[in-house]
């Protein structure tokens, strides 16, 4: 497989055995205590078990690939690449390691650290976003310049960098792997940290997909949504399908009154849709309530049930049966394209629906599918 455009070219230059004009280089044995971590290291998390396994391998076979360092102003060395190997070598009990010594500028030091980690997929999305932001803030690089250096599209750089604006709880969830970068981008559509935290809780508790999280955010931002409907949706009191039904009602007072009845009667999504349809046709509220009360049992819940249920949305204990292979394929497409994806099988036909929200994202998906990213 060919390497992605530009990615790791800086490391290739560093690891090249040939001389680089204006740059001194040599491989030598350097005491571990003389080497310090890269101050610009974008990676903040190192898997302890993986480090132990690498240390065991180094103890058995030695450190085969040298780390890359640059001389610092204090007579020691600062890592450019290979911090994981350096940490594991310390655990293995080594006193010195083979190191390739290179001269670099502070900007090159950060760029190369980012490229190494991105190339090895060692950075999580938040760490990667913070690294891109540092290149912008400290060295004045544009998103296009960053994209060229790390071998990704400008849209990917922008979307990844925006993740650092997430609320603290959402950032931590992303670091812990509780949510994906796609979930993070869905949360970013909600500006209030309290709203992000509320939806984050729903994503984790109900195992919502990126598509479901995007749908919640889209409905919450709809120009016709009543504040009470928005709050009920974001706190999980009603589902996205309930909110969609209530959005039939353009009059704010009527939408709020309908919401109160949906909650009081514990209406299912199907019954809520029927209820909203009646109201939008001009049926009086009391009459519409009576009609959904006498609807078939499958369309509504018993009046004493306090929380509305969902007919067409997955919930933790009421998931529609889905072929595991189809669900896995859908998730793979979603992770690849970084946007909501639906996969529906009808007989021999398989329909794949990809949701995009602007022209930049459409261009990003085209580049990814075309292999030009």
Give the pLDDT score at 358: 63
pLDDT over 90 percentage in the chain: 30
Query: b or e along 234-265 (b: 16 or more beta carbons within 10 Å of the residue's beta carbon)?
Result: bebbbbbbbbbbbbbbeeeebbebbbebbbeb
Give the pLDDT score at 9: 43
Range of lowest pLDDT (68-82, 112-126, 155-169): 112-126
Please state, in angstroms and rounded to a whole number, the distance separating the CA atoms of residues 117 and 140. 21
Rounded-to-5 percentages of helix, strand, coil across the chain: 55, 10, 35
Which residues participate in catalysis according to the annotation? 83
Give the pLDDT score at 322: 62
Split at pLDDT 50, 70, 90, the class of 151 is confident
Q: Is the pLDDT of residue 121 over 70?
A: no
Give the pLDDT score at 243: 92
Start-to-end CA span in the chain (Å): 14
Give the pLDDT score at 196: 94
Please state, in angstroms and rounded to a whole number, the distance separating the CA atoms of residues 64 and 149. 28
Backbone angles phi, psi at 9, to 5 degrees: -60, -35
Q: Is the pLDDT of residue 23 over 80?
A: no
Taking the complete model, does pTM exceed 0.85, yes or no? no
Mean pLDDT throughout 81-100?
Answer: 88
pLDDT in tens, 31-84: 999 998 877 666 666 778 878 888 898 888 888 888 888 888 888 898 887 888
Domains of the chain, each with CATH number or no CATH: 9-120 (3.90.1530.30), 222-316 (no CATH), 324-370 (no CATH)
Range of lowest pLDDT (57-61, 130-134, 242-246, 294-298): 294-298
Give the pLDDT score at 154: 86
Q: Is the pLDDT of residue 113 over 80?
A: no
pLDDT in tens, 166-182: 999 999 999 888 999 99
Q: Is the pLDDT of residue 109 over 50?
A: yes
Q: Is the pLDDT of residue 331 over 90?
A: no
pLDDT in tens, 241-282: 899 889 989 999 999 999 999 999 999 888 898 999 999 999
Give the pLDDT score at 373: 55
């Amino acid at each position: 497989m060919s390497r992605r455009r530009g990615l790791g070219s800086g490391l290739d230059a560093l690891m090249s055995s040939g001389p680089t004009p204006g740059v001194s280089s040599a491989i030598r044995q350097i005491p571990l205590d003389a080497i310090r971590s890269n101050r610009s290291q974008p990676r903040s998390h190192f898997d302890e078990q993986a480090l132990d396994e690498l240390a065991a391998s180094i103890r058995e076979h030695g450190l085969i690939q040298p780390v890359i360092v640059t001389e610092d102003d204090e007579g020691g060395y600062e890592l450019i690449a290979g911090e994981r190997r350096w940490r594991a070598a310390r655990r293995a009990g080594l006193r010195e390691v083979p190191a390739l010594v290179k001269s670099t500028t502070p900007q090159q030091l950060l760029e190369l650290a980012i490229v190494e980690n991105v190339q090895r997929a060692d950075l999580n999305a938040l760490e990667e976003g913070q690294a891109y932001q540092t290149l912008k803030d400290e060295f004045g690089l544009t998103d296009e310049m960053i994209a060229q250096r790390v071998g990704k599209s400008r849209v990917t750089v922008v979307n990844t960098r925006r993740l650092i604006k997430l609320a603290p709880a959402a950032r931590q969830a992303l670091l812990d792997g509780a949510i994906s970068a796609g979930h993070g981008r869905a949360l970013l559509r909600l500006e209030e940290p309290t709203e992000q935290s509320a939806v984050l809780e729903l994503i984790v508790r109900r195992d919502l997909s990126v598509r479901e999280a995007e749908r919640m955010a889209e409905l919450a931002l709809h120009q016709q949504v009543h504040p009470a409907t928005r709050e009920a949706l974001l706190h999980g009191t009603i589902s996205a399908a309930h909110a969609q039904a209530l959005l039939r009602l353009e009059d704010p007072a009527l939408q709020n009154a309908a919401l109160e009845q949906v909650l009081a009667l514990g209406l299912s999504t199907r019954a809520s849709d029927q209820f909203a349809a009646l109201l939008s046709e001009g049926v009086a509220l009391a009459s519409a309530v009576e009609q959904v009360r006498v609807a078939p049992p499958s369309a509504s819940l018993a009046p004493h049930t306090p929380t509305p249920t969902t007919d067409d949305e997955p919930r933790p204990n009421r998931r529609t049966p889905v072929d595991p292979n189809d669900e896995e394929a859908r998730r793979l497409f979603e992770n690849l394209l970084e946007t909501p994806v639906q996969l529906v099988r009808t007989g021999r036909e398989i329909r794949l629906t990809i949701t995009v929200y602007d022209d930049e994202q459409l261009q990003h998906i085209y580049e990814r599918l075309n292999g030009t990213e």
